[in-house]
Amino acid sequence: MKRNLNKLWVAIVVLFLVQAGLQVRIFPIWVRDYAPKQTAPVGLSPDQLLAAVAGFREFLAAILWVRADSFFDSGNYDAVLPMLRLVTWLDPHNLDVYSTGAWHMGYNFTDESQRSDRRYIPLALKFLEEGIQNNPAVWDLYFEMGWMYYHKIQDPVNAVPWMQIANEYPNMIPARRHMLAHTLFKAGRFDDAVDHWAKLFLDAEKDRGKDWESSNLYDVRQKNLEDTILDLLRRYGPNPETQPPIDLGFDATVKVVRPRVLLVEGKLGIPTIGARVTVILRDKGKTLRYSPKALKTFTLEVDPKLTYMQDSLAVREEKFRREIDMSKDPKMYPFKAEEYEVEFIFEPRYASPNIQDRIGSDGVGMYDARYLEEVREKPDPVDVPEYAKISDALRREVENPTRETSYYRVRKVITLTRADILMLGKRGE
Amino acid sequence: MNATLAIAGATFGEAVRKRILMVILLVALLIILISPAFEPFAGGRGARTLILGFGFGVVQLAGTFIAIILCTSMIPTEIERRTIYTILSKPVQRYQFVLGKFVGAVGTLGFMYLMMGIVLMIASRMALGEFDPDILRGLIMFFFQSSLLAAVVLFFSTFVSPLVNYFLSGGVFLLGNLLSSFLESIQRDPEVTPLTRVPVQLLTVILPNFANFNVQNPIMNPEQVLTDPTAYTVQTLAYAVVYIALLLIASMLIFNQREM
């Protein structure tokens, strides 16, 4: 009997070691594929917390997401943000929440004149980064990050690495692969853009006759490849239309017409319609850092003391003019700093194709005696998650970027004081 | 073996006659059946999460309650009613008694999971218009989770009273569900010292880890790419079997020493 008992004790020890070994093996896979990732149940009421612990995490997340949708529909945007935090805590693998949430932060907080509150963009980037860390084996959020840089921030150089990562996933939607070529082109990497179109075209050729969708994809890629080559030939070929450079005669002025209301006007010698000048007003010496690394962790708060306004002004008959009213949105434009910079920028990368045909996609066909400057850029290093399914070569490239591109732009900066903008002492505030 | 199976059969018969367990099962079945009614609240992708999340939540919660209620009273009731003396006076070893009780409990859980699984499949087919075989994987994992919990409860029932057992097993289940998440989060935090991390790591290895079986999230989020779901499932099921064996042997040892 005692011998049997000893055997049982030995069995217990052996089984304990085996289960411990199994647990040690299971844990990393669990962390990678199944872990909820967030552990701080911030903002959940006790009953919600109980439901989450009792196995209703995803259900509760779905209910909260439906609720967030109703807040969104009623225009209560501020209420949506804490919902995003809760939903992604409960269900960190719901890609819709990350992509919709980032879009919401990046695009929907606007002033009375529909200008975005760009202080939310770093939050959106951080939110997407968190989504990527939680879902590294899925292409969608890398693409969303790239799109945020490409479209909202209009920074194609930093969009490229994210689009490249998304593009390495074999299950990416075929039409979305086109964005990498567009991004490379805008980033000034013309050879890479042509190469990518050519690769996509050859891929589409294999399935050309399979069905209508495949034939359509083939046609689209063929047209884009041809257009890109023709654009480059027109702009940089043997007899480039971009030469001799056009004198922009750029200038801009700012006048405070009422407290917190600016009249901006100026001239830009582009002899065709469609050009746009970007105007930015911000605290002097402070720029918004459009990077997920700008924030240590995701937060729902923006800097309440920072004033940052950005608008896009249409140029007609070589002139631009607009009254910018910031008086109705004191939360968005708090004007707490003593000095402000008003920056006027015209850059060719996002200009319409007819303008790019004349001045080049990178501005080689434009000239300005006072405000022309060359911008040299390379992408910020990307923290690629450990489990991202990309090649080692791309991982090295995006983690330590070396490829530099350049373009020309015109830029003028005017400094104003707080007293100027608020018209202090002049029947102002 | 025959004695074990006879005890298992009797335990199963007794369990399915227990009104409270049948009420839990019936309520769970009804709730799962009405889950397609959530569909209009969230269209498309959201509906899938809503319906499957609710269904899996109900199955898991019902499974947990059934395992705890069923196993807490199994051995103490036999002692209280003194029926155990009748059983042990026959050619039945104490280990056979414990094993039979556990097999009977697992059989009951299996029957209840089968019922809930069928209804969940019907509900998801009705609401989502498709049958997803991955749901089956989720149900199997939950069944093993409940079986492991049943083994934990049975183990405690050999030396503590039912009331204490409710709280003890509930606590172990809660802890076993949260420990991995806790460890994962402190491993990510560079400011956490080894003095905090090591005890959590040890606890994660010592206590039964119920979080391993919670695989419902990728089933609700089918875009998620899993490394090797088959290998994970096999390893987790092996973990459950090994841990159950460990607990059963420990239960037998304790029950063997117990004065009746």
For residue A60, give how far its alpha carbon lies from the nearest alpha carbon of chain B (Å): 8
- Domain interval for residue B228: 2-257
Over the stretch A277-327, which tens digit does the pLDDT of each residue have? Answer: 999 999 999 889 999 999 988 888 899 999 999 999 999 999 999 999 999
pLDDT for residue B140 is more than 80:
yes
What is the 3-class SS of chain B, one letter each residue? CHHHHHHHHHHHHHHHCCHHHHHHHHHHHHHHHHHHHHHHHCCCHHHHHHHHHHHHHHHHHHHHHHHHHHHHCHHHHHHHCCHHHHHHHCCCCHHHHHHHHHHHHHHHHHHHHHHHHHHHHHHHHHHHCCCCCHHHHHHHHHHHHHHHHHHHHHHHHCCCCHHHHHHHHHHHHHHHHHHHHHHHHHHHCCCCCHHHHHHHHHHHHHCCCHHHHCCHHHHHCCCCCCCCHHHHHHHHHHHHHHHHHHHHHHHHHHHHHCCC
Contact B232 A29 (CB under 8 A): yes
pLDDT at residue B59, as a whole number: 93
Over the stretch B109-137, which tens digit does the pLDDT of each residue have? Answer: 999 999 999 999 998 888 878 778 889 99
Alpha-carbon span A10 to A266, nearest angstrom: 88
pLDDT for residue B1 is more than 70:
no
Express as a percent the part of chain A with pLDDT over 90: 72
Contact B232 A33 (CB under 8 A): yes
pLDDT for residue A41 is more than 60:
no
Contact A8 B212 (CB under 8 A): no
Contact A12 B249 (CB under 8 A): yes
Over the stretch A141-164, which tens digit does the pLDDT of each residue have? Answer: 999 999 999 999 999 999 999 999
pLDDT tier at B210 (50, 70, 90 boundaries)? very high
Count of structural domains, chain A: 1
pLDDT for residue B213 is more than 60:
yes
Over the stretch A229-286, which tens digit does the pLDDT of each residue have? Answer: 999 999 999 999 999 999 999 999 999 999 999 999 999 999 888 899 999 999 999 8
Helix (H, G, I), strand (E, B) or coil at A171: coil
Query: Residue A170: inside a domain, yes or no?
Result: no
Report, as an integer, the average pLDDT of B169-185: 87
pLDDT at residue B189, as a whole number: 76
pLDDT at residue B47, as a whole number: 77
Give the nearest chain A residue to B206 (CA atoms). A20
Query: Residue A56: inside a domain, yes or no?
Result: no
Give the nearest chain A residue to B227 (CA atoms). A33
Alpha-carbon span B180 to A168, nearest angstrom: 32
Nearest to A420 by CA among A321, A347, A342: A342
B35 at interface of A, judged by CB pairs closer than 8 A: no
pLDDT for residue A89 is more than 90:
no
Phi, psi for residue B222 in degrees, rounded to 5 = -65, -10
What is the 3-class SS of A309-339, one letter each residue? EEEEEECECCEEEEEEECCCCCCCCCCCCCE
Per DSSP, the residues of A236-250 read HSSS-TT-SPEE---
Instruction: Indicate the residue of B205, B225, B253 with minimum beta-carbon distance to A137.
Output: B225
Query: Residue A361: inside a domain, yes or no?
Result: yes
- Domain interval for residue A377: 246-422
Over the stretch B62-94, which tens digit does the pLDDT of each residue have? Answer: 999 999 999 998 888 888 878 887 877 777 788
Contact A138 B220 (CB under 8 A): no
Give the nearest chain A residue to B53 (CA atoms). A59
Count of structural domains, chain B: 1
pLDDT for residue B139 is more than 80:
yes
pLDDT tier at A117 (50, 70, 90 boundaries)? very high
Prediction pTM value? 0.79
Query: Residue A403: inside a domain, yes or no?
Result: yes
Instruction: Indicate the residue of A5, A24, A60 with minimum beta-carbon distance to B205.
Output: A24
Query: Residue A26: inside a domain, yes or no?
Result: no
pLDDT for residue B187 is more than 90:
no
pLDDT at residue A234, as a whole number: 94
Determine which of B120, B205, B255 to mutate to test the interface with A (most A C-beta atoms within 10 Å): B205
Element (H, E) at A412: strand A405-417
ipTM > 0.90, yes or no:
no
B145 at interface of A, judged by CB pairs closer than 8 A: no
Query: Residue A358: inside a domain, yes or no?
Result: yes
A23 at interface of B, judged by CB pairs closer than 8 A: yes
pLDDT at residue A48, as a whole number: 60
Alpha-carbon span A158 to A218, nearest angstrom: 28
Determine which of A1, A13, A59, A296 to mutate to test the interface with B (most B C-beta atoms within 10 Å): A59
Alpha-carbon span B53 to A58, nearest angstrom: 5
pLDDT at residue A74, as a whole number: 78
Contact B177 A61 (CB under 8 A): no
Query: Residue A223: inside a domain, yes or no?
Result: no
pLDDT at residue B35, as a whole number: 82
pLDDT tier at A38 (50, 70, 90 boundaries)? low
Over the stretch A181-213, which tens digit does the pLDDT of each residue have? Answer: 999 999 999 999 999 999 999 999 998 888 999
pLDDT for residue A426 is more than 70:
no
pLDDT tier at B3 (50, 70, 90 boundaries)? confident
CB pairs under 8 A between A and B: 158
